[in-house]
């Protein structure tokens, strides 16, 4: 009788491989095992048929999504200890990517929530934040490094017990032909940081179970998401819980959308984006 541990035969190896599906949620990165439209818990305001991506990223895991312009991507902290570190790139020209410094200074805002934009280094809008029930975010301190996690937790390797965000980003980036040189500073959601009047950061902790943030792709977009502990998390033990990532078809921000003209800076960024897309024949 062949068992799932008997990989010395073709039948045993096949049984072992198929058994791995049950453990998919615990891997550093696991491809979704259901069609997106069959996801058991679609958002209440979304038709399941419109879902194009659905998965749960384990604590200490990562994912990467290549999505069309107008796609909405919602990340949800399922348990209350997730931290979604996010990088964004133009899918059609990945050398244009998230610039956190410009995102913050152009919008005069360091706390990115609903109504704010993720800007590229070319002054264009990569994505807009259309919904945020978390109230906890960070655009200053980036993600964790291997050396720092090794110092704090004893290990920072991507496949270890306390993976660093930069190591996870490197794996995700490699799937799209990008290298470590292509990893700029990231933004993160669900573990908050506030800066006091003296410029000192204060870690606020988790937004709580069920907190969600929705991004809208304003260009053909590549998103890298690392779900790992925040670099300012003071807890001595590595803590990271599952993150749900859903994406569904939608429309990009149009000139008649209030977000387009909410601020002069945003209007210029949207205008720059529209001009570039039109020149390149992207609807």
State the Cα–Cα distance between residues 93 and 95, nearest whole angstrom. 6
Indicate if the alpha-carbon torsion angle 199, 205, 209, 215 is positive or negative: positive
What does the angle CA 129 – CA 248 – CA 128 come to, to the nearest 5 degrees? 15
Query: Which residues fall within 8 angstroms of residue 19, CB to CB, at 6 or more apart?
Result: 4
Tokens of 201: 């950061």
State the Cα–Cα distance between residues 213 and 113, nearest whole angstrom. 8
Whose structure tokens read 């270890």? 160
What pLDDT does 20 receive?
Answer: 56
State the Cα–Cα distance between residues 79 and 56, nearest whole angstrom. 12
What does the angle CA 259 – CA 263 – CA 264 come to, to the nearest 5 degrees? 125
Q: Is 274 helix (H, G, I), strand (E, B) or coil?
A: helix
The answer to whether 65 touches 87, Cβ cutoff 8 Å, is no
Q: What dihedral do alpha carbons 66, 211, 135, 172 form, nearest 10°? A: -30
Alpha-helical (H) ranges within 30-95 are: none
Pairing outcome for strands 201-206 and 125-132: unpaired
What pLDDT does 37 receive?
Answer: 87
Residue positions counted in the chain: 283
Q: Is 26 helix (H, G, I), strand (E, B) or coil?
A: helix
Tokens of 156: 């920072």
- pLDDT by residue, tens only, the chain of 283 residues: 445 456 778 877 777 666 655 544 444 455 566 689 888 888 888 999 999 999 999 999 999 999 999 999 999 999 999 999 999 999 999 999 999 999 999 999 999 999 999 999 999 999 999 999 999 999 999 999 999 999 999 999 999 999 999 999 999 999 999 999 999 999 999 999 999 999 999 999 999 999 999 999 999 999 999 999 999 999 999 999 999 999 999 999 999 999 999 999 999 999 999 999 999 998 7
The answer to whether 81 touches 211, Cβ cutoff 8 Å, is no
């Amino acid at each position: 009788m062949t068992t799932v541990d008997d990989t010395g035969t073709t039948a045993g190896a096949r049984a072992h491989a198929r058994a791995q599906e049950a453990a998919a949620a615990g891997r550093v990165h696991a491809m979704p095992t259901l069609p997106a439209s069959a996801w058991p818990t679609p958002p209440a305001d979304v038709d399941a048929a419109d879902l194009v991506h659905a998965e749960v990223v384990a604590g200490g895991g990562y994912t990467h999504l290549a999505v069309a312009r107008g796609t909405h991507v919602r990340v949800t902290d399922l348990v209350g200890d997730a931290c979604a570190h996010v990088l964004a790139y133009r899918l059609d020209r990945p050398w244009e990517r998230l610039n956190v410094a410009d995102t913050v200074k152009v919008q005069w805002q360091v706390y990115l929530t609903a109504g704010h934009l993720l800007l590229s280094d070319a002054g264009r809008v990569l994505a807009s934040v259309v919904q945020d029930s978390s109230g906890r975010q960070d655009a200053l301190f980036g993600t964790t490094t291997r050396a720092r996690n090794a110092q704090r937790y004893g290990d920072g390797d991507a496949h270890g017990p306390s993976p660093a965000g930069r190591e996870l980003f490197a794996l995700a980036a490699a799937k799209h032909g990008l290298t470590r040189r292509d990893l700029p500073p990231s933004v993160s959601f669900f573990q908050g940081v506030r800066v006091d009047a003296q410029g000192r950061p204060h870690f606020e902790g988790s937004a709580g179970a069920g907190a969600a943030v929705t991004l809208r792709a304003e260009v053909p977009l590549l998103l890298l998401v690392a779900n790992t502990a925040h670099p300012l998390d003071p807890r001595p033990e590595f803590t990271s819980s599952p993150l749900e990532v859903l994406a569904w078809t939608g429309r990009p921000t149009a000139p008649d959308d209030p977000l387009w003209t909410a601020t002069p800076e945003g209007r210029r960024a949207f205008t720059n984006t529209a001009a570039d897309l039109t020149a390149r024949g992207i609807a």
